[in-house]
Structure 1
Amino acid sequence: MSAARYKQRGLSLVELMISMTLGIVLMTGVVQMFLTSRVTYGTQQAISQVQESGRMAMDFLAEDVRMAGYFGCTSRNPNVSSGLEASSDYLYDFTQVVSAYPSTASLTGVNNVSEDTDILVIRRASSGSVHLVDSHNSGSNANLRINQEPENDCLLEGQLCDDSIAIISDCSQGRIFRAVNVQASSGGGAQGMVVHSAGGSSPSNSDPQLGGQSFGEGSEVMALNSIVYFVAPSAFPSAGLEVRSLWRKVGERDAVEMIEGVERLRAQFGVDTNGDAELDTYKWREEMSSADWQDVMAVRIHLLLNSIDGNVLDEPQPITFAGTSLTGSDVTDRRLRQIFTSTVGIRARLE
């Protein structure tokens, strides 16, 4: 009988079990590496998103805070009068260059504000300006002839349009008014015209003649706005999780969602308490008296950012923000959180 008839074919049960065990060990290692890489990738993405959003949010806020109270060349000598009819709406109170309100405040165009955050209002003129090409004397007509032609009835890249709030300044005085019309000029030498006559939206101009004030050639005309920052739920929420965002409202326009992942906004205000033009102390919004707002020289901004996605961390991340401890239900989503703080001086108030 040939020995070939007894040649072994296939695998024994022992060999099969050993092979399966080795395969399971190898697959376990591969799956573990995949899960570790996925968690690391998710964490790195969350860190990048939070840091980028935090820097951008702080840049937007810092730029506007720094320019609070900017009224052109009259900023250092704020001899500014308002030609608007009386109004109790916060949008037209340009006597306070910066102010803040609790999240429960009822403010025009500011809706669904998240609790435990501040509403920050900054009042400033636009960075750009147009200039008078001839003098505008007391008692003359309502037309301000300027050196720039409007585009689609707007100036300054859409900042100063029909019915906008504006300010005219000649470095010794300024006047706030509503620009009823922005139009091309029919006269020679001027490219455009800003009309400040009676009419327009409420509050309208109380005097069509700029209250008897005269402004010489070269006087600057700028858009003037109350700029509002607040935190509210995002218009594009993540599935199953609330996403908060930083919103910005400019003047009478609708609020615009700026940056996702901003969970809370709080501010402290640096106040000159003794009138020596030096900052003496910082106060939270709820510690400010009505008189303190006139003496604010700097704003310390506190932002709490979180990752858009939940379950980024292995366990909840307790954190203390602006003196408030976030624990328990505040952090059970296991999002990554980071605090950003910056102190910004108000240029118009600093020596």
Structure 2
Amino acid sequence: MKIILKQPRGLSLIELLVAMTITMILLGGIYQVFISSTNAYSRNESLSRVQENGRFAMHVIREAVVGAGFLGCSQEPANYTSILSDEDDYHINYAVPIQGLEWVPDNPGTADELIDGAWEDDGGVVDPATIDEFNLTDPLTGSDILTVRHVITGQAFDLSADMGGPSANISTEDDLGLQDDQLMLIADCEASTLFRVDHYDDATGVVNPDGDLSKAYAEGAQLYLPRTSSFYIRTNSAGEPALYRRVTDAADPEELVEGVENMQVRYGVDTDGDRAADDYDAANDVSDWTDVVSVRIGLLLRSPNDMTHAEFNNSTYRVDDTDIDAPGDDRRFRMVMSTTIGLRNRLR
């Protein structure tokens, strides 16, 4: 009888192990490519969000700072007069175009320097009650506060007739909706005067000032709405740090952009009268705010969410001349943005 031997079919154990090993290597490579792509996408998305937020924050601050001190056609501070009894109050002191508060830690260089300390101006420590008078709400410790004063250039109303004297009524446009006790600035190219509206007649456009002006203004002079804007860092309703702006007479501060952890401000001071910055000082080192001609802003921004597969962030960031430590308990992307802005109405 003839015996027929069948040829073995399929894979041997060794071949199977080799195939499995190759498959594992390929899968591992694919996984690494996937992880790398995910990390790159997460980082790029975080970078994009942070850059977008930073550009917007700087744009808003720049617009305010550039126009600081604008009080109509007459640009000389000596030509400005206020007839208010409370003219030196922080939020209506338009003789000073820009002002700020510096956060001064009790123990610089320690983990508590962003928590323990106080805000200071050129006169020293500012108490919390005074912070409330600045129209601020819950400013985040560790960051500086910047205040800018000017008039709204897009809302100027022409006088339609000469004033009969400094105590006379002002004739302007009707139906402006001005309110009693509202702040107004009247200006021509020789002088400007800050006053409160005693009464405004919507039908006739006649404004009764609450007091005698510095002069009798002629037809063609203009009325402006003054504005004080304070920029500061505060925690929003979602528990995230954000850049806020408080505008004169606004009921509440306005959140501008989320993810701004810290703001540091230095003021360019003209020490020799040539209208150019000679030194950049902290707010508590500025002896005369009318000498400030530029501002240097530094912002520390962070991404809205943790980056995928990133390490905990325990880096130290240099914001202007202040070192800020990341908390070390998140994986957020952080970036420092800085710029120097000139006060158009103070530079040569």
Superposition TM-score, scaled by structure 1 size: 0.79
Q: Give identity over the alignment, percent.
A: 29
Partner-residue secondary structure (3-state), 1:112? coil
Question: How far, CA to CA, are the matches of 2:166 and 2:320 in structure 1?
Answer: 54
Structure-1 residue corresponding to 2:107: none
Cα distance per residue 1:119-161 (max 9 Å; x no partner): 101110111211111112226654x3324643xx26xxxxxx6
Among candidates 132, 153, 159, match of residue 107 of structure 1: 132
Number of residue-to-residue matches in the alignment? 318
Structure 1 residues 249, 134: closer, same or farther in 2, change over 3 A?
Answer: same
Where does the alignment leave 5 or more consecutive residues of structure 2 unmatched? 104-118, 120-125
Structure-2 residue corresponding to 1:45: 45
Q: Is the 8 A contact 2:266 2:295 kept in 1?
A: yes
Question: How far, CA to CA, are the matches of 1:196 and 1:38 in structure 2?
Answer: 66
Question: How far, CA to CA, are the matches of 1:183 and 1:31 in structure 2?
Answer: 74
Matched, 1:116 2:142: yes
Q: CA deviation at 1:92?
A: 1.6
Structure 1 residues 8, 146: closer, same or farther in 2, change over 3 A?
Answer: farther
Q: Is the 8 A contact 1:133 1:147 kept in 2?
A: yes
Q: Is the 8 A contact 1:118 1:267 kept in 2?
A: yes
Question: How far, CA to CA, are the matches of 2:255 and 2:200 in structure 1?
Answer: 28
Q: 1:38-77 alignment to 2 at 5 Å?
A: 38-76=38-76
Across the aligned residues of Structure 1 and Structure 2, the Cα RMSD in angstroms comes to 3.1
Among candidates 195, 201, 208, match of residue 207 of structure 2: 195
Structure 1 residues 32, 194: closer, same or farther in 2, change over 3 A?
Answer: farther
Matched, 1:125 2:151: yes
Q: CA deviation at 1:255?
A: 1.2
Q: Is the 8 A contact 1:71 1:78 kept in 2?
A: no
Structure-1 residue corresponding to 2:188: 170
Structure-1 residue corresponding to 2:283: 285
Cα distance per residue 1:138-195 (max 9 Å; x no partner): 26654x3324643xx26xxxxxx66532200122121112235555334xxxxxx263
Structure 1 residues 10, 288: closer, same or farther in 2, change over 3 A?
Answer: same
Question: How far, CA to CA, are the matches of 2:41 and 2:304 in structure 1?
Answer: 14
Structure-2 residue corresponding to 1:35: 35
Question: How far, CA to CA, are the matches of 1:55 and 1:96 in structure 2?
Answer: 27
Partner-residue secondary structure (3-state), 2:153? coil
Structure-1 residue corresponding to 2:224: 222
Structure 1 residues 195, 274: closer, same or farther in 2, change over 3 A?
Answer: same
Cα distance per residue 1:19-42 (max 9 Å; x no partner): 655554443333322221111011
Structure-2 residue corresponding to 1:305: 301
Q: Is the 8 A contact 2:174 2:201 kept in 1?
A: no
Higher share in strand: 2
Q: Is the 8 A contact 2:83 2:195 kept in 1?
A: yes
Where does the alignment leave 5 or more consecutive residues of structure 1 unmatched? 155-160, 187-192, 198-204, 238-242
